[in-house]
Amino acid sequence: MGTQSGTNPGKLIGGLVLACLLAASRAQTAVVPLLSPVGLAFDAAGGVYVAESGRHVVDRFDPVTGAFTVVAGNGTQGFAGDGGPATAAELDSPQGLALDAAGNLYIADAHNHRVRMVAATTKVISTVASGFRLPMAVALDGVGDLFVADAADHRVQRVVLASGVISTVAGNGTEGSGGDGGAATEAALDSPGGLALDPGGNLYIADTHNHRVRMVAAGTGLISTLASGLGLPKGISVDTTGDMYVADRQGHTVFKLAGGSLTMLAGTGGEGFAGDGGPAVAALLDGPQAAGVSPAGLVTLADTRNQRVRQVDRSGVIRTLAGVGLESGTVVFTGASVVQYGTGSLTATCHGATGSVVLYDVSGGTPVALGTTALVDGVASFSTAGLAAGGHRLLAAYGGDAGHAAGESGVVSLTVTPAPLIAAAGTIAMVYGAAVPGVTGTLTGVLGQDVGKVSAVFATDATSLSPVGIYPVTARLTGAAAANYAVTATGNVTIGQAGSDTTLGSSALTVTSGTPVTFSAKATSKTQGVPTGRVSFLDGGVTVGALALDGSGAASMPLTLGPGTHAVTAVYGGDANFLGSASAALSEEVVTSVIAAQPDFALNATNGTQTIVGGTSATFGFGVTVTNGSLSGPILLAATGLPNGASASFHPAVIPPGGAVTSFTMTIQTVKPAAISPMQAATFALGVLLFLGLRRRNRVVGVLFGLGLLAGCGDRVTNVGSGGSGKGPVSYPITVTGTSTASSGAVLEHTAVVTLTVQ
């Protein structure tokens, strides 16, 4: 955080800003820090309600007693608790506040995108409207309707609380500017952040990113600009006379708008903290986000980044109402903004003060006291060695002494980084497929304050079937102090190739020459898994083939070996995860033998040629000769090449096995050729006479006439010859086929040919 000094502790960045109060105009009963006060509201008794967006709570401050009471929120950022006590509920960055006549409190729960209400009588919290996007401000009119500045939707919405109906009263939902003089619902707004209503029902809007204040007139609904050229106007309020007060966050000022004129009420425009007890127009503010008017008519502002609520009295003098006391004297700060766990310190120097300082951690919303240190010569030092790793928001509270009022510092951020640890596991060796051994190691670097509160659990991503390679060891810290350390693991698990076994089998260890043998090889793991790659088959050391292994690690290859004894081996070449291996030699015997002759038969015709007249039959005789034993099946007979319309029959129809029948006959029955009837002959003759007697050009007609008559009469059966001309004898070679089966299953087929001539 470096070293800084000066009289402006509210602006010191990166140091512990400890307010050293030199004088007090009033006594505070307790020092309670504020975290980013952004919303204000007043009850009838003068109590100030403050929305602390940084702590996610809403407080009530009693200006008479100085007491703070949390009225909503448990300090945890989130959303929960509807239907239960408001102080047990979770809020998320509350912004604008409003109170109705009955004392019910309305909260713009901004990052929960809803408006919630704390009932005055029961103190129970509930959601009264939702569906907004970043509601930043709320206001109530004379009939109890709720108005909501829906910042991210660039609209102002009206909620009829009796029915829950929501409607738009300003803004068309488009981020922009424009529309003055027209209907407010047609105008463009840009992130409205403040609302107020006057007794006449006119609605005032802090059109934040348009840098202006606009008004929606009651009755007409027309929108107009009242003031422009502001920085980032946020919270606004209207007093009973109709005067308006505007908190300008970017301008670090509060303005008064009266009679159309804009005048400075508080702040010089400079960013910082100064001026309490003096004219408000000479004071320094830092990002004010709310301006309200107390029941007594005093302008009160949320000086957000100064972490306080300030008030301007009737004479124009500004004082801190809540958060801190009066101006501090000279303060010197030292310390780093980032420290490693177990180290570091923060020092606050408050010249001339005595007493003690309490250091608070306000990271979770509710302050947690970390320790109390007495001022020695105006200096208080705090060790940060006990702060857990992570981000911390720290605040110091000074209890005061006889000459100094109690007060508190601003909030600073401190990052505590984890302390380094080394988890050493060494090198662990294993082979593919083996069980992964347990990983252990040593842990070094644990601070003495955490002995027994942190340990390391070692692990690796390697598994039994992880591919061969090197896998790093990881370490995870456990124990109550584990989150305060960052561990670096060393060591690895090295996986090497596993061994393999190769076996070889044969479909037959003894075969005759010329018979193929199927050799089956299989490679298996000595651990787990299935080898991949290729296996080679060797005959007497000479490679005779190679194949890729299948999914089970097996491969089969048929080989035909020459006569003799063969020493056959299978050699697996290995892969990325397995070492290679070879099978034992397999003795394969190939012998030479004479293959016995198989039974067979032959057909021969005993009368190979015959001549017959069409319509008659012819009979041919055949002999059957069986050799090398008996046939295992009958001989089936068939004939091909017969004349048109002819049929063939055999006697016997088949030759049975056994050799008892040695001959058979085949009879061919032909059909009678077609003849020309007398009528056809006479018609043909008439056609010839007409041919001769007609003129040349009509002869063709006569011939066609005669032929047509000739063709249309008589028997339709033509000559049995293949040409069907009926002119002279025709010879037909007829093939007789015999088919049988040998004892080996082979098909035996033989033929005999005879010639038939038909006249």
User: Among 125, 91, 87, which Cα is nearest to 109's?
Assistant: 91
Over residues 7-66, the pLDDT tens digits come to 333 333 233 333 333 223 333 333 456 888 999 999 998 999 999 998 899 999 988 777
In this predicted model, what pLDDT tens digit does every residue of 90-99 receive, in sequence order? 999 999 999 9
Rounded Cα distance, 92 and 105, in Å: 16
In this structure, what are the phi and psi dihedrals at residue 706, rounded to the nearest 5 degrees? -65, -45
The answer to whether residues 423 and 411 touch, using CB atoms and an 8 Å cutoff, is no
Q: Which residue has the higher pLDDT, 676 or 203?
A: 203
pLDDT of residue 693: 52
Q: Is the pLDDT of residue 694 over 60?
A: no
pLDDT value at position 347?
79
Phi, psi (degrees; rounded to nearest 5) at 446: -70, 130
Q: Which two tokens stand for residue 544?
A: 């005779």
- Contacts (Cβ under 8 Å, ≥6 apart) of 21: 324, 325, 326, 327, 328, 353, 398, 400, 404, 405, 406, 407
Choice between 343 and 596, residue whose per-residue pLDDT is larger = 343
Within 13 A of 59's CA, how many CA atoms are on the CB side? 28
**Does the structure show a pLDDT above 80 at 327?**
no
Q: Catalogue the E-assigned strands of 85-222.
A: 94-99, 105-109, 114-118, 125-130, 135-140, 146-150, 155-160, 165-170, 194-197, 203-207, 212-216
pLDDT level of residue 687 (50, 70, 90 thresholds)? low
Q: Is 723 left (phi over 0), alpha (psi -120 to 50) or beta?
A: alpha
| Beta carbons within 10 angstroms of residue 726's beta carbon | 16
What pLDDT score does 331 carry? 37
Q: Measured between alpha carbons, how far is residue 256 from residues 318, 403, 413, 558 in Å?
A: 15, 37, 35, 105
- What is the three-class DSSP state of 685? helix
Percentage of residues of the chain with pLDDT beyond 90: 69
Distance of alpha carbon 264 from alpha carbon 257, whole angstroms: 9
Is pLDDT above 80 for 446?
A: yes
- What pLDDT score does 367 carry? 83
pLDDT at 712: 43
Q: What is the pLDDT of residue 24?
A: 30
- Summarised one tens digit per residue, pLDDT across range 102-158 is 999 999 999 999 999 999 999 999 999 999 999 999 999 989 899 999 999 999 999
Mean pLDDT, the chain, integer? 86
Report pLDDT for 476: 96
Over residues 684-690, the mean pLDDT reads 53
Strand arrangement, sheet containing 500-506: 500-506, 517-525, 554-559
Q: Which residue has the higher pLDDT, 362 or 66?
A: 362
pLDDT above 70 covers a percentage of the chain that reads 84
Global pTM value: 0.47
Query: What are the structural domains of the chain?
Result: 233-325 (2.120.10.30), 332-417 (2.60.40.2470), 424-496 (2.60.40), 500-591 (2.60.40.10), 597-670+728-758 (2.60.40.10)
What pLDDT, on a 0 to 100 scale, did the predictor assign at position 680? 53
Q: Which residue has the higher pLDDT, 352 or 574?
A: 574
pLDDT surpasses 70 at 4? no
Distances from the Cα of 253 to the Cαs of 104, 246, 250, 284, 646, in angstroms? 30, 8, 8, 8, 129
Question: Would you say residue 684 has pLDDT above 90?
Answer: no
Give Cβ neighbours of residue 682 (< 8 Å, ≥ 6 apart): none
**Amino acid 252: pLDDT:** 97
For residue range 181-214, what is the model confidence (pLDDT) as tens digits? Answer: 999 999 999 999 999 999 999 999 999 999 999 9
Q: How many CB atoms lie within 10 A of CB 523?
A: 29
Who wins on pLDDT, 691 or 252? 252
Measured distance CA(36)–CA(19) in Å, rounded: 17
Q: With a cut of 90, say whether residue 2 has pLDDT above it.
A: no
CA Rg value for the chain: 57
Asked if 310 contacts 321 with a C-beta cutoff of 8 angstroms, the reply is yes
Contact indicator for 648, 670 with CB cutoff of 8 Å: no
SS3 (DSSP) at 689: helix
Ranges 196-200, 596-600, 685-689, 746-750: which has the least confidence: 685-689
Measured CA to CA, the distance from residue 330 to residue 250 in angstroms comes to 27
pLDDT of residue 404: 60
Q: What is the rounded distance in angstroms from the CA atom of residue 757 to the CA atom of residue 8? A: 141
The top-scoring range by mean pLDDT among 28-32, 359-363, 405-409, 696-700 is: 359-363
Give, as one character, the DSSP assignment of residue 706: H
Asked whether residue 357 carries a pLDDT value surpassing 90, the answer given is no
Q: Which pair of tokens denotes residue 490?
A: 């060393």
Q: Helix axis angle, 678-693 relative to 696-711, nearest 10°? A: 170
CA-nearest of 162, 71, 56, 60 to 122 is: 71
Residue 295 is predicted with a pLDDT of: 92
* Residues 371-422 pLDDT 10s: 899 888 778 888 999 999 999 988 777 777 665 656 666 677 899 999 999 9
User: Is the bond leading into 652 cis (omega within 30 degrees of zero)?
Assistant: yes
